[in-house]
Amino acid sequence: MVTPNMPSNSQAIIDKFLTGDFQTTDSTNPYIVPVDPYVPPAADPNNPDNTIPDCSKLFPNENRVYDPVQKACVLVEEIRDPQEGDNDTLGEDPNQALLRKMRNDPTTGYGASNILDDYIIQGMGDGTFLKFDPSVGKPPPIFGLGLFDFLTGGNQRRENKYNDAIKFMQDNAYGQSVGNDLFNVFTPQQYYRNVSGNLLDPNAQRTPQGQNITVGEAVEAAVNNDYSEVSSGGAPIAEDLSGGLLYTSPLTSVDSSGNRTRNDDAYKAAIARNIERNKKNLGTSGFSMNVGGTGRAGFTRGR
């Protein structure tokens, strides 16, 4: 570009350049705006950007960092030990990893129900019937999946998990083996009938004053308490989230008008399960026929 003060010969140009008097741009160009080059805030420690949140303070102990694209504090993907369980993936979200472990834990009600739900078959009689099927959960023989499945235990690994889940059901009296490798998960009525005769306190002798009553008597007392409150009104039940496990049923039923009413069989079984679970885990039922001196029956702990 030729400027008004550009020298006419090469030596003059060199002299002008050496003396600092050489102009290389057109000072009369109205479109040139002097600006400083952009420096990202993260690259300039002397001038931090206060708009970027401190994720470690906002989410302590959650291992989050600020993502400028999402403009949010996001979890850092972590690499986990592949030996932690089935179907592990690298970089799995910690919350998803916890949920996956819960789903695959045969020693809990949630995990056992999730595992056994794939083995439901038709059976004769009441309740839900289960039977181990080696084809359930078996990957297709492509991309080396069959070999990997074999090396990690294959059918034996799945059968062991199935048996562990069945053991949870047996240990908690939620069902029984009925022959032909079938397992019958009890209905609420069956379960309640089986445990209603158990003593509320297994370590005490029943007295004429009824200080050690049966589980059935305790449940009936609790139900009668609740029935006395039904007529007094209260907010209607909008949604019932119960009954999600293999051995439970929804605590309410819906009529043709959309109104919910209590399912007494499921309700009694749920109270009885709480009592039996407390006895097993805490050594006491956690149930009293006179809570706080009110004369009302109910739980004092572990409900």
State whether 171 and 231 are in the same domain: no
State whether 206 and 272 are in the same domain: yes
Asked whether residue 190 is domain-assigned, the answer is no
- Contact 183/166 with Cβ under 8 angstroms? yes
Q: Grade residue 148 by pLDDT with cuts at 50, 70 and 90.
A: low
Distance CA 179, CA 181 (A): 5
pLDDT one-digit tens code per residue, 195-230: 999 988 877 655 555 557 899 999 999 888 754 443
Asked whether residue 89 is domain-assigned, the answer is no
State whether 119 and 138 are in the same domain: yes
Question: Which range scores top for mean pLDDT: 96-110, 119-133, 178-192, 208-222?
Answer: 178-192
Does residue 189 register a pLDDT over 90?
Answer: yes
State whether 45 and 123 are in the same domain: no
State whether 11 and 60 are in the same domain: no
Asked whether residue 83 is domain-assigned, the answer is no
Domain end position, chosen among 26, 59, 75: 75
pLDDT one-digit tens code per residue, 272-284: 999 999 888 888 8
The H-or-E segment that residue 160 falls in is: helix 154-171
The per-residue pLDDT for 53 is 77
Q: How many domains does the chain have?
A: 4
Asked whether residue 99 is domain-assigned, the answer is no
State whether 216 and 178 are in the same domain: no
**Residue 121 β-bridge partners:** 129
Asked whether residue 91 is domain-assigned, the answer is no
Q: How far is CA 40 from CA 34, 37, 53, 64, 70, in A?
A: 19, 10, 16, 21, 17
Number of Cβ atoms within 10 Å of the Cβ of 67: 12
State whether 5 and 70 are in the same domain: no
pLDDT one-digit tens code per residue, 39-80: 555 444 555 555 677 777 777 767 677 776 666 777 665 434
Q: Grade residue 233 by pLDDT with cuts at 50, 70 and 90.
A: very low
The per-residue pLDDT for 122 is 84
Number of Cβ atoms within 10 Å of the Cβ of 228: 10
Domain boundaries, position 159? 109-185
Distance CA 183, CA 190 (A): 14
The per-residue pLDDT for 177 is 92
Least confident of 126-130, 209-213, 267-271: 209-213
For the segment 128-150, the average pLDDT, to the nearest whole number, is 77
The per-residue pLDDT for 299 is 87
**Confidence (pTM):** 0.60
Retrieve residue 207's tokens: 């007295």
Query: Nearest to residue 128, comparing CAs of 277, 248, 274, 301?
Result: 248
For the segment 153-170, the average pLDDT, to the nearest whole number, is 89
